[in-house]
Amino acid sequence: MIPFHMAFAIDDKETARHFYGDVIGCEVGREADNWIDFDFFGHQISAHLNKDPKSTATSKVGNDLVPLHHFGAVLPWETWNALISRLKGERYPFVMEPKVRFEGQPGEQGTFFLKDPAGNALEFKSFRNPDAIFEH
């Protein structure tokens, strides 16, 4: 696997540190006064301070309206369920509760959405058959 890098806006670095580090479980990487890196399941994400408003646009996926602008991770089934348990233990609100969609189809997947404290939408997915991630 080749790791990806993604930069995104946050409005408070310490709040981002708590959310991505403590709530999601990412290791903190390098940082400066205006940004902080995290190991996001083997990928590098960079949270940069920026006060611009976030988009509220949505898109229909299956029967759900989901945040159009989002990023996330495809996790092994056990890791996905463990993250759900951690988030529920923290009483962290979901934008879309954990569910399985496209049941019985090649793209059957577990999914849920949440927002970080800066309003960035994240999706966490898991495929019962990891080889089906790109099937159609």
pLDDT digits (tens, 9 = 90+) for 44-71: 999 999 877 667 888 888 888 888 889 9
Q: Is the dihedral of CA 17, 90, 51, 111 positive or negative?
A: positive
Residue pair 17/49 in contact (Cβ under 8 Å)? The answer is no
Cα 107 from Cα 55, distance rounded (Å): 27
Instruction: For residue 99, list its beta bridge partners.
Output: 111
Cα 19 from Cα 131, distance rounded (Å): 30
Going from the N-terminus, what domains does the chain have, and what CATH number goes with each?
Answer: 5-132 (3.10.180.10)
Q: What confidence tens digit (pLDDT) does each residue in 65-107 have?
A: 888 889 999 999 999 999 999 999 999 999 999 999 889 887 8
Position 17 confidence tier, pLDDT thresholds 50, 70, 90: very high
